[in-house]
Chains A and B, each alone.
Chain A
Amino acid sequence: MKKLKRYLGVLGMLGVLTLVLTACGGRKSLSQQDVLTNDKASNTITWGVKADTKLFGLMDVQDNTIKGFDADVATAITKQILGKNGKAKFVQVTSQTRIPLLKNGNIDAIIATMTISPERKKQVDFSESYFDAGQALLVKKGSKVKSVKDLNKAGTKVLGVTGSSSVANIKKFAPKAKVLELSDYAQAMTALKSGQGVALTTDNGILYGMATENPGYEVVGGTFTKEPYGIAINKGQAPFKNKVNAALKEIEANGTYNRLLKKWFGNVAGFNYKEASR
C-alpha cells in the first residue's frame, strides 16, 4: 500500500510537470503585440539571420558582425521601412531555433535561407520570395554521384541539416537512401569530409558557398526542386508584412537587389547571375 502511494505520487508529479511545461504555450506574449508599431518606436527591426552560412549569413570574427546576402537584404529593407537612420539588429538563428524565436517575439522576422513551404505557412506568414533557390548536391570532386538519381540505392548515406526542407525532399526523390541529419552546415560539411556520407544536400546557394570554401568539392546535377526563399513574419502582423513586401518591391525596382546579388554571387562559379537577377 505504501509503495502504491509512492508510485502514485511520482505519477502525479509527472502529470504536474507535463501540465506546467505545456501551459507555457498559452500565455499572451510579445509576439501578440504589433511589430510595426514597436519597431517604429525603437527605430530598429530585429532580424533572425544565419551565422554559419557563407554568402547568406556568416559571422565575421574580425568585427563580430554577421555578413551576407540575407543580412544585406535585411538592412536594405529596414532602411526602406524606417528611413535612412533605421537600424537592423541581427540575431543569430539556426534552422531549428528560428521559428520558436519568431513565435516568442525575440525576433521580428526571419531572413535565414528559409524556403516558403505549405507546412511552414501554417505556422508563420511569408513575404514574397526574395531569392529563387533550389535543392542541389555537393560531392567530392570525381565522385560517382552525378545527380539525385544516383543516390537512390540502398545503403547510400546522404547528409542534411535537421530542420531543413531538403531532408524531407531527399526522402521523396531518393527514398532508398538513408539521410543523416546533422545540426548545422559546418558539421554536415565536416561529416562529408570524413566520409560519413557520399553527398551533402541542401539549397544551391548554400552549397555554392561551401564549394568556394572547399576546393576539393563541387555542386553536381543542377537543382531538382524549386525552393524560393521568403522572409517569415508572425501570423497576425499584416501591417508589417505589407511594409516588408513593399520594401522588397522597391529595392528590386531601384537596382539595390541586383547590386547585392552581384556583390555576393557575382564571382561564384556555376551560379547563373542573369537568371537570378530581378
Chain B
Amino acid sequence: MVYILTHYWSELIQGLGYTLLSSVIALVFSTVIGTMFAIFEVLPNHAMRIIGRIYIEIFRNIPLLVIAMFFYVIIPMYVAKIDGFTAGTIGLTIYTSSFIAETVRAGIQSVDNGQMEGARSNGLTYWQAMRYIVLPQAFKIVIPPLGNQFINLVKNSSVLAFVAGFDLMYQGNSIASLSLDTINSYVVVGLFYLVITLPLSYYMQHLEKRLAN
C-alpha cells in the first residue's frame, strides 16, 4: 500500500484534483439548477410545474453512466467538441440536480402554508416571500438530506473514469493495471475518497447543528 502511495503519488494527486474540481463545479451548479426546478414545481403556474416534473423524472430515472456517455459520445458527434471531463461533469450536474430538486421541493412544501400567506398579506410579492421567508426555512429543513446528496455527488463523480476524465477512479483503474496490485490500488483510492467525503460529511453535520440553534 505504501508502495502504491509513494510510487503513484502524482497520479493520485492529479486524480484527487480532478475529482475535487468536478465535484465542486457539479455541487454549485446542481444546487442552483436543482433549487430552480424545485421552485418550478411549487409554482402556481401549471405549465411550469409540468416542465419541472418532466426534467426531474427524466434525469432522476436514467442511470448516471448513460447520461455521461450521452454527453461524451453524442454531443461531440453533432453539437460541440467536449472532452471526457466536461461531459462527465455536465452529466453529474444534471443527474444530481434532479435529486436536489426533489429534496428542496419537499423542504419547501414542508414549510407551513401560513408562512407564504402571512408574508403575502404583509405586502411581499410572491418572489419576495419565496426568497426571504420560505426558502430560508426550507433549506434549514433539507440540510441533512442535502448532505447525503453532496456525498453521493462526490462518489458519483467516479463516473468520470468511464469517459476518460482523469479522476481518482480513472487513476485507480490505471494504477491497478500498471502495478497489477488490484486490492491495494483500490484501497488507496477508497481512502482518497474518504479524504473528500469525511470532511464534507462533518461540515454538513456542523452546519445542521449551527442552523438548529
Q: Is the CB of B76 within 8 A of A162?
A: no
- B170 — nearest CB in chain A belongs to which residue? A181
In the complex, per-residue mask of A105-129: 1 if CB is within 8 Å of any chain B CB, else 0: 0000000000000011011000000
Chain B interface size, as a band, is 20 to 34
Contacts of B170 in A (CB 8 A): 181
Q: Is the CB of A195 within 8 A of B184?
A: no
Contacts of A119 in B (CB 8 A): 180
Question: When chains A and B are docked, how far (Å) is the Cα of A122 from the Cα of B180?
Answer: 10
Q: What is the size, in residues, of chain A's interface with B at 8 Å between Cβ atoms?
A: 32
The residues in B between 60 and 108 inclusive whose CB is less than 8 angstroms from any CB of A are 72-74, 76-77, 81, 83-84
The residues in A between 170 and 194 inclusive whose CB is less than 8 angstroms from any CB of B are 180-183, 187, 190-191, 193-194
In the complex, per-residue mask of A238-254: 1 if CB is within 8 Å of any chain B CB, else 0: 00000000000000000
Q: Is the CB of B77 within 8 A of A194?
A: yes
- B81 — nearest CB in chain A belongs to which residue? A195
A163 within 8 Å of B by Cβ?
Answer: yes
Contact among A25, A96, A181 with B164 in the assembled complex (CB-CB below 8 Å) = A181
Q: Is the CB of A162 within 8 A of B177?
A: yes
Contacts of A168 in B (CB 8 A): 178
- B182 — nearest CB in chain A belongs to which residue? A100
Q: Nearest Cβ distance between residue B26 and chain A, in whole angstroms?
A: 21
**Known contacts A181-B164, A191-B73, A193-B77; A25/B183 CB under 8 A:** yes
Select the stretch in A14-22, A51-59, A200-208, A258-266 that faces chain B. Answer: A14-22
A196 within 8 Å of B by Cβ?
Answer: yes
Q: Is the CB of A180 within 8 A of B84?
A: yes
Contacts of B183 in A (CB 8 A): 21-22, 24-25
Question: When chains A and B are docked, how far (Å) is the Cα of A25 from the Cα of B76?
Answer: 43
Contact among A25, A159, A181, A190 with B173 in the assembled complex (CB-CB below 8 Å) = A181
Q: Is the CB of B194 within 8 A of A14?
A: yes
- A122 — nearest CB in chain B belongs to which residue? B180
Question: When chains A and B are docked, how far (Å) is the Cα of A22 from the Cα of B176?
Answer: 14
In the complex, per-residue mask of B159-187: 1 if CB is within 8 Å of any chain A CB, else 0: 00110100000100110111010111001
**Known contacts A162-B173, A181-B173, A194-B73; A99/B198 CB under 8 A:** no
Since A164-B177, A181-B164 are in contact, a sample of 15 more A-B pairs with Cβ atoms closer than 8 Å, ordered by chain A residue number, is: A10-B198, A22-B183, A22-B187, A24-B183, A122-B180, A162-B173, A162-B177, A168-B178, A180-B84, A180-B164, A182-B162, A191-B72, A195-B76, A195-B81, A196-B72
Residue pairs across A and B with Cβ atoms less than 8 A apart, 13 shown, are A14-B191, A14-B194, A22-B184, A163-B177, A180-B84, A181-B173, A191-B72, A191-B73, A194-B73, A194-B77, A195-B76, A196-B72, A196-B84
